[in-house]
Structure 1
Amino acid sequence: MSLRFARWTGCACALLILAGCGGTVRMEPPVPEGAAVAACKHLGERLPQKLDGADRVESTPASPYVAVWGEAQIALRCGVPRPVTMAATDQVPEIDGVAWFPDPTRPTLFTAIGREAYVEVTISQEHTPQNVLIDLAAPIKAALP
């Protein structure tokens, strides 16, 4: 397995562990490259302070590529690698103009694809994925051509 996959897996596990903790949420930021750097920073400026009823909270280390709501009930990382489980022939649903790859091995993980950068969103069972993805569609479309 690649180092990126190992980092991604570690981040996903940390998110699940921290889902019930209070205070600042520890979240490993991605390392976008090329045009994705500016696009992800632009996305970070457009994200809502409240998402599906959850308030945005701080994450550590601070990063313009990470946003967290409700003590890690919802987490977004912009500039992640292409999903390793996504095949070129996969059909993906489009929600409000954004194509989302639902990870078949992790039903709480969705990745916006077909944009300047991949945007990974993890949604806990306390929230309705469609509501979250609809609310994220406008900022994603505006920031990531």
Structure 2
Amino acid sequence: MSLHRRPPGLLAALPALAAVVSVAGCTSGGSQARVAPPPAPPAEVAGLCAALHGELPRTVAGLERTPVVPESDLTAAWGGSAIVLRCGIPKPAKMLDPKQDGVEVNDVGWLLEKLGDGGFRFTTGARLAYTEVRVDKEHATDAGMLVGLSAAIARTVPAGISSY
């Protein structure tokens, strides 16, 4: 009788465990973000959003860009759905409320709204295409999060008042 006994099912389970680990190691490591594009904006706005899409940074707040489903020039995401951008949204009604908070980053003005889940929504103002960025509560405190996004918007979406 051996003093070093193994549980009877352990050896049988090892091949299955090894298969699961090897499949997990082959995954891309990133996930997709499901982001609904805004309703089809006018052609001029869609063109500005396409230009912005091509200039968006690869990382935001240290998070890598994530593939978006459905694929669209109107949407982007970083870190899964931690940070989600939608370009070409209609003008938010809260944009008219003088009591709303705002910030300016790299000459881009942003309407600031705290969401019920602890995250934030930032929406550009005084640009020919409105762009919103939703940030989960974990990344909402990163003060530099809007820097790269603002720079891309300043390069591609001219200042002005959108009629959309």
TM-score interval w.r.t. the shorter chain? 0.7 to 0.9
Aligned to 1:29: 37
| CA contact 2:61–2:142 (8 Å) conserved in 1 | no
Equivalent pairs counted in the alignment come to 124
Give matches, 1:47-86, under 5 Å: 47-86=56-95
Aligned to 1:125: 137
TM-score, reference length from structure 2: 0.69
Aligned to 1:99: 109
| CA contact 1:85–1:103 (8 Å) conserved in 2 | no
Give CA-to-partner distance per residue, 1:82-119, whole Å, 9 cap, x none. Answer: 11223253563212211000125555111011101000
| Alignment partner of 1:134 out of 147, 152, 155 | 147
Paired with 1:83 and 1:103, the residues of 2 have a C-alpha distance of 11
Q: 1:85 is paired with a residue of what secondary structure? A: helix
State percent identity of aligned pairs: 34
CA change 1:95–1:35 in 2 (3 A) is same
Q: Which range is displaced more, 115-124 or 86-95?
A: 86-95
Q: 1:39 is paired with a residue of what secondary structure? A: helix
Root-mean-square deviation over aligned CA pairs:
1.8
TM-score, reference length from structure 1: 0.77
| CA contact 2:45–2:128 (8 Å) conserved in 1 | yes
Unaligned runs of 5+ in 2: 1-29, 159-164
Paired with 2:134 and 2:114, the residues of 1 have a C-alpha distance of 13
| CA contact 1:123–1:129 (8 Å) conserved in 2 | no
Paired with 1:104 and 1:87, the residues of 2 have a C-alpha distance of 17
